[in-house]
Structure formats: C-alpha cells, structure tokens
Structure 1
Amino acid sequence: MRILVSTDIEGVAGVFHAEQTRPGNPEYERARLWMTQEANAAALGAFEGGASEVLVNDSHGNFRNLLPDHLDARVRCIQGKPRYLGMMAGLEQGCDAVFMIGYHSRAQGRGILAHTISSFAFARVVINDLELGEPGLYAALAGEYGVPVALGTGDNRFIEENTDLLATASWFQTKEAFGLNSGCSLTPAAAQAAIRLAAKQAMPRIASLKPFVIAPPINCVLTVTSSGMADLFCQLPSIERVSGVVVRFNTDKVESAVRTLNSLSAMSTMLR
C-alpha cells in the first residue's frame, strides 16, 4: 500500500506567523524542522499501520522546505517546482490514500495563516458552487485519480471547514485558532507523537474510504484581491471578467482548474 503524505507548514504545531513560513530567517529554519518532523511522524505511523511505501510531498511555498535527512530512510521525498499536480504530486505514481499534514483554513477563513494558494492574489475560490480552500481543491484533484483523503491535521478551523466535505477522513487538531496570527498549540513533540498514532490508526480504514469527487464540467469563480489583479488575469483569453474583482473560467476537470489557479498565482508576482 502506497501513501502520499502532502505536507504544508501553516497548520504545523507552533507555527503562527508568516515570518515562520518564509525562508531567510531563524524562525523559518525552526518551523521547517517541525514541518519535517510532522511529515516524518505521519510516515512512521503509515509504515506501522501496514504501508509498503510512503511518498512525502513538500507542499509549501517554493516546495523546498523539508529536510530530507530528518526523514525515515524508507521515505521518498518529492520537492521542487514547477510540477503539474502541485500539492498532490505523487498521485501519478499510483497511491492508495493521501494524508494532509500541516494544512490550514481557506482564504477569508478564521484559521491561523488562512489563505488559498496565494494570499496576495486570491480572496475566494468557488468550484461548482463550493467554496474551497487548498484541502478541498487538492482532495478533489486526488478524487479524480480515485484516491481518498485518509487523514488531515491542522488547526480547528481547517478541520471545521472540511469535515463535511471529506466525510470519511480522520482528523487531528494540532492547535486552536484565536485569530490569523494567534492561538493555542500543542508542543511539537506532543503533536508529532499524536500524528504518528493517528496515521497508524487511519491505515486499516483506507479500503472503506470514499474519494471526494467533483463532477465535470468545472466552473471556477475566483475573487481576487484587487481590480489590477483581475486586469492581469484577464490577459488570458480563457479568463472572463465578471466584475471589478471577480473572474471565472470553465474547464473539463479539477486538475486543469488547479493548474490554472497555480499559473495565475505565478502570474500575480509581476504585480508585487
């Protein structure tokens, strides 16, 4: 059984501020170690629960955060960009389930460091009338590959937003959000021990889990952070202007929608 561990940083225990998520400072170096340790805890739990192979996907920012020398020797680590499947790279190798580790609340949510793909560019993402953050978008991408989400870890707001959406997944709360940059967290050591156990306990349930599937055609309505951002995105013929800060596009599958959103995010950097 092959497990994909997709690992972000904002939902990791002890992480509260954007400075901890950005390279170039000591706080980031400590947070990336905690991120790596939570990913490794999930991998160890998966192996203890019967996994024959674990792929760990570095799913934050530039996708070059994890410290491979702190991962179990049996793990294979996916890093770097660009890659077509983004936070779900590894699905194309044939996986049985996904663990979402260190994930966070969607844009305009009430979770710690809440955003969707790009806090600079995107204020709201709606796919076929469902408002989704990164967990929903990437769970739907996994669903197109027939792969369910077995476990999600992060703050309470992340869990609240996705429990109904991913009804068969298991959850573990690493911290309670008080606001965008405040909350109450488990210690890294306590979170890692609990994630290891949660991953092990999730393994026997995988055969009964259901993938999250959004049926095509796919309609994406995207609220952006400024009219200038909408001006930029509408340079692409496939993007239609709805209003000053709302654009939309249609496609045939979730994978295409995710690739478009990631491309728009990359485009947005020219306005910084």
Structure 2
Amino acid sequence: MKAFISLDVEGLPGVSSLTMLNPWSSQFDRTVRIATKMVNTIIDELSSNGFSEIVVADSHGLMTNLDYCEIKGNAKIVQGYPRPLSMVTTLDSSFNASLFIGYHSAAGTIHGILDHTMSSRTFSEVRINGIRASEFLLNGLYSSENNVPVVLVAGDEYLEREVSSFSPGTVFVPLKKGVSRLSAIMPSFDVILNQLKLGVREAVEGLRERKIGLINIGRPYVVEAVFRDSLIADVVEQYDRFQRLDAYTVRFVAENARELIGLVELLAIVGYGVDALKNAIK
C-alpha cells in the first residue's frame, strides 16, 4: 500500500498568525515543530495500518516547512519551490490514497483562518465551473483523475462542507475553526493528535471497504480567476489563453487537472512578479 500526504500549514492547529508562515517570520520555528510532529503521527499510523511506502509533499510557501532530520519511518519527503504540480508533486496512479493535512478554506470564505487559494497575494477568488474553489478541490481533482481517492482531509472547519459536498466518504478531521482571518479556536495538541490517529484509522478502513469515491465536477474546467490587483489582468490579457472579463477577472479553460493546476500556478507566479515590480519602483 502506498500513501501520498500533501502538507499545508494555514490549517494546522497552533498556526494563527502571519508571524508563523515563512522562514523569516519570528514564530516560524513553532510551525515547523507542529507540522513535523503531525506528519510523524500520520506516518506512524499509516505504517501500522499496512502502508509500506509514504511520500510527503511539503507544500506551503517555499515548501521547506518540515524538519527533515526529525522525519521518522519509511517516508520520502518532497521539498522546495517552485516545482511541477505544486502541492501534489510526484502524485500519480501508483498511489492507493492521498491525505491533505493542514488545509484551509477557499479564498473568500467568511472567517476562514488565513483563507486563500494558491496565492493570497494574487487571487481574491478562483472559481471552477462556477464553484468557488479551494486548494482541496484543485488538488483533489488531480488526485481523482489519477484514480487516487482523497481519504482524509484535516484542517479548518470551514473547509468541511466543501469536502463533504465533493468527496463523500472522505474523513474530515477538524484541527481548528476560524474566528477571523487571523484568529482561530482549537483544542489542545494532545487532543488533536489523538483525533488525527483515529481519523487515519477510519480513512484506511473506508478505503479498504471502498466507501470513498473520486471527485468529479465535469470537464473541461472553466476557470475564472479574480485577481487582487487589476495590473495582473493587464499583464495576462495579451495572451489568447486568457479572456479578460472585467478589471480584475480573467477566464480560461483547462482540459484536465494537470493543466488546471499548472495554469493557476502560472498566474500566481505572474502575480508575485507584478507585486515585486511595484515594490521595486522607487
């Protein structure tokens, strides 16, 4: 049995401040400890339940949020950014299950803790076939197109409704609940780790009993990307692939989830570039 873990951090317990999100942030070391402890807990539980190969894709920011020296067991770690397919790098049809840990609600979610989709700097909202999309949906579509069910999602409670709507049978483990964009309420870490162990066991049982299906919202994917800065739309509208809808929004069509993720990530990088350009103008 082979499992793929995609790790984000905004949905992790104990992470509720911008001071915890980047290597240069004052409290980032706390995030690393939390993330590493949670991943090790999941690795132990998966290994005890028949998984002989586990790949962990470190998937937030610069994608170096795990303490490599502290990772246990038989796991392989994917780290570093940028990279193809972003949060689901190396996920393919050879896996039996995927698990999304530390995930958060979509950009535009009221009270969602640190809510965003792919890039808080670039997008105010991303819609796929008219659906406001989270990173769970983007990555879940890719996993499903590779015939790999998303067996467990753990993160902000505001994401649970989306998970249950598009992936019935997927086990959801709430790690905290947003009070505002920069505040959340959460149980103690001991409680969280115990709930996570139980969630993994339930997810493995659901996988074995074929209770967890694949995500399908219909293809092709018609995507509307709403930017935070109209200058990003000014830059990308010159390419025929992107249709300008208004000052802040472009539309494009993707035939599959690989193409979808690639184009959203491309727009995110353009957004970073536009922001850097503006900051460089003195």
Q: What secondary structure sits across from 2:151 in the alignment?
A: strand
Tell me the residue number matched to 1:195. Answer: 196
- Opposite residue 197 of structure 1, the aligned amino acid is L
In structure 2, what residue type is equivalent to 1:238?
A: R
Q: In the aligned structure 1, how far is the partner of 2:198 from the partner of 2:139? A: 24
One-letter identity of the residue aligned with 2:177: E
Query: Which deviates more from structure 2 when the two are superposed, residues 112-121 or residues 48-57?
Result: 48-57
Q: CA deviation at 1:122?
A: 0.6
Which secondary structure does the structure 2 equivalent of 1:163 belong to? helix
Matches of 1:176 and 1:218, distance apart in 2: 30
Q: Tell me if the contact between 1:43 and 1:75 (Cα under 8 Å) persists in the aligned partners.
A: yes
Where 1:164 maps in the other structure, the secondary structure is: helix
Give the whole-Å Cα distance in 2 for the aligned partners of 1:228 and 1:22. 26
1:91 partner SS: coil
CA distance in 2, matches of 1:200, 1:168: 13
Please tell me whether residue 225 in structure 1 is matched to residue 221 in structure 2.
no
**Does structure 2 retain, via aligned residues, the 8 Å contact 1:21–1:28?**
yes
Aligned residues: 272
Distance 1:161 1:18 in 2: 25
**Residue type matched to 2:160 in 1?**
I
Which aligned runs of 4 or more in structure 1 are off by greater than 6 angstroms? none
Per-residue deviation, 1:87: 0.9
- Alignment partner, residue 118 of structure 1: 119
Alignment partners' CA distance in 2, 1:235 and 1:45: 50
In the TM superposition, 1:126-137 aligns within 5 A as 126-137=127-138
Q: CA deviation at 1:93?
A: 6.6
1:198-233, Cα deviation, whole Å (9 max, x unpaired): 112211211412111233222111111121121122
Matches within 5 A, 1:148-187: 148-187=149-188
In structure 1, the gaps of 5 or more residues are none
Percent identity over paired residues? 26
Which amino acid counterpart does residue 147 of structure 2 have in structure 1? G
3-state secondary structure, aligned to 1:118: coil
Instruction: Measure, in 2, the Cα distance between the counterparts of 1:15 and 1:227.
Output: 31
Give me the whole-angstrom Cα distance separating, in 2, the residues matched to 1:141 and 1:270.
26
The residue identity in structure 2 corresponding to 1:201 is E
Contact 2:166 2:216 in 1 (8 A): no
Q: Which runs of 5+ in 2 are unaligned?
A: 276-282
Change in 2 beyond 3 A, CA 1:212/1:68: same
Q: Tell me the distance in 2 between the aligned counterparts of 1:12 and 1:39.
A: 11
Partner deviation per Cα, 1:43-78 (whole Å, 9 max, x = no partner): 211112221211111010111111122211311111
The aligned residue for residue 78 of structure 2 is 78
**Code of the aligned partner of 1:198:** G
Structure 1 partner of 2:249: 246
Alpha-carbon deviation of 1:124? Answer: 1.2
Greater CA deviation, 67-76 or 149-158?
A: 67-76
Contact 2:100 2:153 in 1 (8 A): yes
- After superposition, residues 205-224 of structure 1 pair within 5 angstroms as 205-207=206-208, 208=210, 209-224=212-227
What whole-Å deviation, never above 9, does each CA across 1:143-200 have from its counterpart, x for those lacking one?
1111111001112112133221111100111112111111211233332232123112
- Residue 146 of structure 2 is aligned to residue 145 of structure 1: yes
CA distance in 2 between counterparts of 1:100 and 1:224 reads 25
1:102-123 CA distance string (max 9 Å, x none): 0001101131100001111111
Indicate the larger mover: 113-122 or 209-218: 209-218
Structure-2 separation of matches of 1:39 and 1:57:
10
Q: For residue 87 of structure 2, what is the amino acid of its counterpart? A: M
Q: Report which stretch shifted further, 259-268 or 83-92.
A: 83-92
